[in-house]
Homo-oligomer: A and B are copies of this chain.
C-alpha cells in the first residue's frame, strides 16, 4: 500500500475533462493520515437546496462512516451539504473509536462550513482495524474550507485513491427542455471489489433539480446494473459508499421518469464502474461476461458472477488461454438452473460450444488469437428462458498477488 505501482495497462489515456457542476465546490489536502507526499483528504461542499441519495455496502461488518451516512441519507434538508473523504485508513472495525472519529470529523466540518452535522457525510478508505487519526484531518479543515474551488474535481478524485493506479472520472451533458443538464462523477476502487448494494467510493454530482425520493430511486435501480455488476476479486468492502448529489443549479426539474437524465446518469455510473474494473489489482484484461436465456434475471446474474469470480477462468484469461471448459465448470457450480446440452458459449463473435459439446465450427487458433486482446467478451446463452445479465471483471495475475501479499507492509 502506498508503494509505487505502474499504471494499469487498461487505464484511459488521461483523466477526462469534467464539466463544472454549479452548486458544488471541491478542495483537497495532504493530511498525512497514512500516506506521505500526496493528498489524502477531499472536501466537497454542496449548495443549499441540494438533494442527496446514497447506496452503501450491505456488509455485516460495515464501517462507522458508512453507518453514519446511512443514518443521515434519508433526511430532507435545504441547508446544503458536505462530503469529506480520507484515504489511507478505512475506520472500519475500530470499535467505539470508530464512532468517535467519525463524529469528530463530521462535527468539525459542520462547524467550519456552517452546516448542520446531519448534512455532513463522511467516508474513509484504506486499512481496516487501525484507529483513524482524525485530528490530522480536522487540523486541515481551515485549509480545505479556504480553498474550495468549483474546478477542483480532479484533485478530489486523486485524493481518494488507495491502490488505484489512476484517478477515475466520468461525465455527461444532456439537453432537457432546451436547457443543459450536467452530471460529473468520481470514483476510487481497485481491490476488495465485489459490490453488494453499492461499492467502493463514488461521488456523482448533477445540477439537475431532483426530489430526494426520485434521486434515491434512480440511484438504487441504476446501481443494480452498474456497480453491482462488477467484480475484481469477489471480496466485498466494508466501506462501499456511493453518494449522488443534485444541486438544482441548472433550474431543470427531473424525476425518475425523465428518460434522458436517467440514461445519462446510467452512462456515467457504468463508465465509472468500468474504470474500477480497468484498475482492478493486477488487471491486464477487461472482461465482459454476458449471460442470456436464463430462467430468470437472478439466475443469469448468479451464472455471470460465477464465471466472473472463478479463479480458474481468471487465470486462464491472464494466460490468454481460451479455456471454455472452465466456463462450463463455472456454470455447473453456480447453483442456478442450467442444462448442459442447451448451452451456447461464445468468445467474442466466435461460437465455441453448443449442444453440449464444442462447436464443429470452433477454431482453437482463432480463439487463441482473440484472447490476446485487452477487451474480451464471454457470452453464454442457457437456452432456458428470458433471464439476462451482463457483468464486468478482469483477469487474475501475478500482479494481484504482488499487491496483496504485502498490502500492509
Contacts and interface: CB of A to CB of B under 8 A. Distances in A.
B404 A233 contact: no
A404 B93 CA distance: 35
B192 A59 contact: no
A95 interface: yes
Contacts of A329: 59, 61, 128, 192, 235-238
Interface string A327-342: 0111111100111110
Interface string A376-403: 0000000000000000000011101100
Contact of A332 (B127, B129, B238, B404): B238
Contacts of A130: 358
Given A235-B312, A236-B332, A319-B406, A129 B400 contact: no
Nearest to A194: B333
B333 A236 contact: yes
A61 to B, nearest CB: 3
The residue in A311, A321, A400 that gathers the most chain B C-beta atoms within 10 A of its C-beta is: A311
Contacts of A353: 93, 129
A353 B98 CA distance: 15
Contacts of A77: none
Contacts of A60: 331-334, 337-340
A409 B321 contact: yes
Interface residues of A, number: 68
A128 B401 contact: no
Count identical subunits in the complex. 2
B321 A408 contact: yes
Interface string A296-339: 00000000000001111001101101011110111111100111
Given A324-B129, A405-B316, A61 B340 contact: yes
B357 A128 contact: no
Contacts of A191: 312
A377 to B, nearest CB: 19
A234 interface: yes
Interface in A15-67: 57, 59-62
A356 interface: yes
The residue in A95, A339, A401 that gathers the most chain B C-beta atoms within 10 A of its C-beta is: A401
A357 B93 contact: yes
Nearest to A324: B129
Interface in A87-146: 92-98, 127-130
A164 interface: no
A322 to B, nearest CB: 9
A286 B210 CA distance: 54
B235 A321 contact: no
A333 B235 contact: yes
A387 to B, nearest CB: 15
A355 interface: yes
A353 B234 CA distance: 24
A16 B191 CA distance: 42
Given A61-B338, A127-B325, A321-B408, 9 more contacts: A57-B332, A97-B357, A128-B328, A233-B312, A234-B309, A235-B310, A235-B329, A315-B401, A318-B401
27 contacts: A60-B331, A61-B331, A62-B332, A92-B325, A92-B328, A93-B325, A93-B328, A95-B341, A95-B356, A130-B358, A192-B312, A196-B333, A234-B309, A235-B310, A235-B329, A235-B330, A236-B332, A311-B396, A311-B400, A311-B404, A315-B401, A316-B407, A319-B407, A321-B406, A321-B408, A323-B407, A398-B401
Q: Which 3 A-B pairs have the closest CB atoms?
A: A128-B325, A319-B405, A95-B357
